[in-house]
Amino acid sequence: MMSEKPLQASCADFRDGASAPGPVHSAQKDIAVTENEPLSRHTTLKLGGPAAKFALVESRRQLDGLIQNGGQLRIIGGGSNLLVRDDGVQGTVARLSGQEFNYIRQDGSCLKVGAATPLQHLVNTAAEMGLTGLEGLAGIPGTVGGAAACNAGTRDGALGDVIIRASVMELTGASGWIEASEMKFEYRRSSLKGSFVTDLELMLGRGRREEIAEKIAAIMKQRRASQPYGRRSAGCAFKNPPGDSAGRLIDAAGLKGFRIGGVSVSEVHANFFIAEKNAKSSDMLELIETVRERVNERFGTLLELEIEIW
At its nearest, how many Å lie between ligand FAD and the CB of residue 26?
22
Interface with ligand EPU, residue 154, by CB under 6 A: yes
Residue 143 contacts ligand FAD per CB under 6 A: yes
- Spatial separation of the C-alpha atoms in residues 242 and 204, rounded to whole Å: 28
Tell me the Ramachandran region of residue 32: left when phi exceeds 0, alpha when psi lies from -120 to 50, beta otherwise.
beta
Question: Cβ(215)–Cβ(126) under 8 Å?
Answer: no
Measured distance CA(99)–CA(37) in Å, rounded: 23
By CB under 6 A, tell whether 100 contacts ligand EPU: no
> Out of ligand FAD, ligand EPU, none, which partner does residue 134 contact, by CB within 5 to 8 A per kind?
none
Residue 11 designated active-site: no
Based on CB atoms, which residue is closest to ligand FAD, 182 or 210?
182
Q: Which does residue 246 bind out of ligand FAD, ligand EPU, none, counting CB within 5 to 8 angstroms by kind?
A: ligand EPU
The interface region with ligand EPU, picked from 101-109, 176-184, 238-246, 280-288 by CB under 6 A, is 238-246
145 binds ligand FAD (CB under 6 A): yes
* 236 a catalytic residue: yes
Minimum CB separation of residue 177 from ligand EPU in Å reads 28
Is residue 249 involved in binding ligand FAD (CB under 6 A)? no
User: Residue 89 interacts with ligand FAD (CB under 6 A)?
Assistant: no
Closest CA to 308 of 152, 151, 92, 83: 83
Give, for 55, the enclosing helix (H) or strand (E).
strand 50-57
Of 152, 158, 162, 166, the closest CA to residue 81 belongs to 152
Nearer to ligand FAD, 154 or 301 (CB): 154
Q: Binding segment for ligand EPU among 124-132, 173-181, 232-240, 278-286 (CB under 6 A)?
A: 232-240
> For ligand EPU, which residue of 2, 27, 70, 155 counts as binding (CB under 6 A)?
155
61 is catalytic: no
Contact between 45 and 232 (Cβ < 8 Å): yes
Size of the site for ligand FAD (CB under 6 A): 33
Q: How many residues does the chain have?
A: 310
Report if residue 152 touches ligand FAD, rule: CB under 6 A. Answer: yes
Answer yes or no: are the C-beta atoms of 156 and 95 closer than 8 Å: no
**DSSP labels for 203-229?**
E-EE--HHHHHHHHHHHHHHHHHHS-T
Q: Of 307, 310, 269, nearest to 288 (Cα)?
A: 307
C-alpha to C-alpha distance for 251 and 236, rounded to whole angstroms: 13
User: Of 95 and 269, which CB lies nearer to ligand EPU in the complex structure?
Assistant: 269
Helix 209-226, helix 119-128: angle, nearest 10: 150
49 binds ligand FAD (CB under 6 A): no
Beta bridge partners of 41: none
Number of Cβ within a 10 Å radius of residue 220: 14
Q: How many helices and strands (H and E) does the chain possess?
A: 7, 20
Catalytic residue among 74, 188, 189, 223: 188
* Identity of the residue, 50 or 153, whose beta carbon is nearer to ligand FAD in the bound complex: 153
Q: Which residues bind ligand FAD (CB under 6 A)?
A: 44, 74-82, 96, 115, 140-143, 145-147, 149-150, 152-154, 188, 193, 195-197, 233-235, 308
Q: Which residues bind ligand EPU (CB under 6 A)?
A: 154-155, 226, 235-236, 239-240, 245-248, 251, 269-271, 306
* Residues assigned a catalytic role: 188, 236, 306
